[in-house]
A = this chain, B = another copy of it.
């Protein structure tokens, strides 16, 4: 088709283009009728309404609408009309030629023309590419089945509404949304409101991980689950299945989720095909300068399709910034685009979620956190060099804009640092208000502790009766004893009443919380908490996601409290426990297979020899714990090594874990001239019973066949010394930095009793010792008499402990090596090329 002139400025697809033949203005052709393209034209018109003749090509049949408001349309909160930005009148009023349903398919930069799908070819003086982005479709089998859609435009919304409508005949229908980001959750919300049973699959451990930290993400997940959605995190889609149409999704772990609709909302990719074919510079997006000019001076680009200074953007605010700079450029102003800082709000009714800036933390960053468990509020402001660099708000996002403004302006917040987290009204209202003064000004009947209904007057009375520490106040009047959110208030009251006489309380778990280990464990059980973020939220953690001290501890406490229920959080484990091997100085791993009671056999020895040679292990060494240790195994070889060792009958020796390490034995009555009992046999039985158990710290057992004690049982956590008349049970020994000799727990007559007492003692330690507390300091803290009272004197209690240990073990005794060798957590075992260092 030839270039044609015409008069009508607005054309629908299929119509001819009519432009005044006498218009000699520069012709600006805009490829893309979306939010960025139209906003660019708006900005341009605002600066110079006559300089350019404008033609806009759109792929959709619609005028420009607010794409980010598709969610409310899906949700039934708005209609399509509600979200139109520029109606037909705007195009007409501004003399813009709009060509809909006819995407541009080629650019001839030499001829300075564009050609559309329908065959139209028109010339341009300036070309603006605003093609936006395409949904990313994960390349799984079944991705092209009917019923698999994305969530990008009104057509997608129509498909979803049709599916929901169809589902009504079968009780609502089932939908799967793949992607737990902003878009996916909005889709899920809309589909839920439309009556569908929705499952969200998210491959990462937490929802909206690019916008939310773990704490906010947990609150969000908790709320979405409360609304009936099923949220599966760490869910890796293997296949979309169905005969002729979608019937469901199968995950890599084998789970199947039936669905008549699958919405892929895993992300977007800048739409760059047109620009690339035209020979423009393209990286992740179409490369532009600060004036949104591409590598061709007459071709500009704006919106989600561009890459500026290495960044691409998928949110609306940067688009507006780009459009302003573009318009400035086209009108000979040279302000230039300097990149954007973004913020996010989730548009889901009743859920207030706000995120802005960088919350990855790191060197020099300080987190200010406020949690209010009763209101479901989490606020976190990240400050670096006295400036806000990030903010995450959940439950109360009223101050999101204020924080975002401070962030964008790079305002120094040091003056209002202490009050910042309480929001604009408080921080700006009181100036540099002293929190103590604020507390002092409270009336005596002001409620301090909402959980326990304690007034300021009651707290003061408690202090005046002699409570000189936070802990004493907690014990005396219960203030701050439950959720801890009023801890700061109580501390201020203490300070006001006592001045310097305030005593510091017992050591808290870490700097993230005002609670000690025992408090946390008690509350985990009392409040039936089931995840780390839940604990942090309900106990008002002062950090967003804890620290390397509290996370492994909480993970352990939850694991201990909820055997078979709590899902282990790999990210809260030390690298050795994640890898199920000991990382060494050079980044390789050492591997220790289990040898029950230290016994081995030719098959195992040969298997180890084979592994050493096959995987080129530079060293193999006997350990002090009576096992063999293979050194220098590369991370990516671990699963294969384990498979080989498994094949010879060996499982993980847990030499890397806060867990039962080894049971050392001497040879006992079977062989030794001095042996009084079958110490080796008892050692094997003990190890079979206790292996795989997670503990507060590493745990070592030994069984010596006579008082000569060749297995060194009296410096072990649990040691058995066989004597002629039975078994002496010893506890709380340590052979490391500070050697501690065991205490004698008691003497028993039979092997079964020795095993029973061992199980009960182990469980008491598991339940009551603090994380990273070996049995030695634990027993020194609680006293061996206490342990005797629980294990020796209380028969029913001992039996209950033993039963709980064995129940817990029923979930623990799977070989993690076999799981990994079979393909679990393969991402942990990828090969990483060492960073190459340039040779001079």
Q: Interface residue count for A (Cβ, 8 Å)?
A: 57
Per the bound structure, the CA–CA distance linking A667 and B629 in Å amounts to: 10
Q: State which of A114-122, A285-293, A423-431, A601-609 sits at the interface with chain B.
A: A601-609
Within 8 A of B (CB), among A624-661: 624, 626-629, 631-632
Provide 28 A-B residue pairs closer than 8 Å at the C-beta atoms, listed in order of the A residue. Answer: A590-B671, A598-B621, A598-B623, A599-B619, A599-B621, A599-B622, A600-B628, A602-B610, A602-B613, A605-B620, A605-B628, A606-B609, A609-B609, A619-B667, A621-B667, A622-B627, A624-B624, A624-B666, A624-B710, A631-B671, A632-B671, A709-B735, A709-B736, A712-B715, A714-B735, A714-B739, A715-B735, A739-B739
**A707 near B585: Cβ-Cβ < 8 Å:** no
Please name 18 further chain A to chain B contacts, defined as beta carbons within 8 Å, in addition to the given A600-B621, A602-B610, A603-B609, sorted by A numbering: A585-B670, A585-B671, A590-B667, A595-B622, A602-B608, A605-B612, A619-B667, A619-B670, A622-B627, A624-B626, A624-B711, A631-B667, A631-B671, A709-B737, A712-B712, A712-B715, A733-B739, A739-B741
Structural contact, A708 and B735, CB atoms closer than 8 A: no
Flag A709-721 by CB within 8 Å of B: 1 or 0 each: 1111011000000
Q: Residue of B at shortest CB range from A702? A: B624
Is A675 an interface residue, CB under 8 A from the partner? yes
The 6 closest A-B pairs by CB, nearest first: A602-B609, A622-B626, A605-B609, A598-B622, A584-B671, A712-B735
* Other-chain residue from B628, B667, B673, B708 in contact with A737 (beta carbon distance below 8 A): B708
A598 / chain B contacts, CB cutoff of 8 Å: 621-623
> A673–B632 Cα gap in the complex (Å)?
13
CA distance A670 to B712 in the complex (A): 28
Query: Once bound together, how far apart are the Cα atoms of A585 and B672, in whole Å?
Result: 5
Q: Which residue of B lies closest to A614 (CB)?
A: B602
Cα A457 to Cα B665 with chains together (Å):
63
A753–B399 CA distance with the chains assembled, in angstroms: 67
**In the complex, what residues of B have CB within 8 A of residue A590's CB?**
667, 671
- Quick one: which of B584, B712, B741 contacts A624, CB cutoff 8 A? B712
A555 interface contact, C-beta 8 A: no
Assess whether A93 is interfacial by the CB under 8 Å rule: no
Given A671-B585, A739-B741: A622 and B600 interface contact (C-beta under 8 Å): yes
Interface positions of A (Cβ within 8 A of B): 583-586, 590, 595, 597-603, 605-606, 608-610, 612-613, 619-624, 626-629, 631-632, 664-667, 669-673, 675, 680, 707-712, 714-715, 733, 735-737, 739, 741
* Bound CA–CA A586/B667 (angstroms): 13
Inter-chain contact A612/B622, CB cutoff 8 Å: no
Measured in the bound complex, the distance between the Cα atoms of B741 and A675 in whole Å is 25
Residues of B within 8 Å of A597, CB to CB, are 621
B-chain residues with CB within 8 Å of residue A583 when the two chains form the complex: 673
User: Is the pair A708, B736 in contact by a Cβ cutoff of 8 Å?
Assistant: yes
Q: How far is the CB of A784 from chain B (nearest CB, A)?
A: 16
Distance in Å: Cβ of A136 to nearest Cβ of chain B: 39
Chain B residues, Cβ within 8 Å of A602: 608-610, 612-613, 620
Instruction: Select from chain B the residue with minimum beta-carbon distance to A612.
Output: B602
How many angstroms between the C-alpha atoms of A632 and B585 in the bound complex?
A: 40
Collect the chain B residues with CB atoms within 8 Å of residue A709's CB: 735-737
Kindly identify which residue among B584, B631, B739 contacts A715, using a CB–CB cutoff of 8 Å. B739
With both chains docked as a complex, state the minimum distance between the C-beta of A687 and any C-beta of chain B, in angstroms: 13
Point out the residues of chain B lying under 8 angstroms from A608, CB to CB: 602, 605
Task: Enumerate chain B residues within 8 angstroms of A736, measured Cβ to Cβ.
Answer: 708-710, 712
Are A601 and B620 interface neighbours, CB within 8 A? yes
A585 to B702, CA, bound (A): 21
A667 neighbours in B (Cβ, 8 Å) = 584, 590, 619, 621, 629, 631
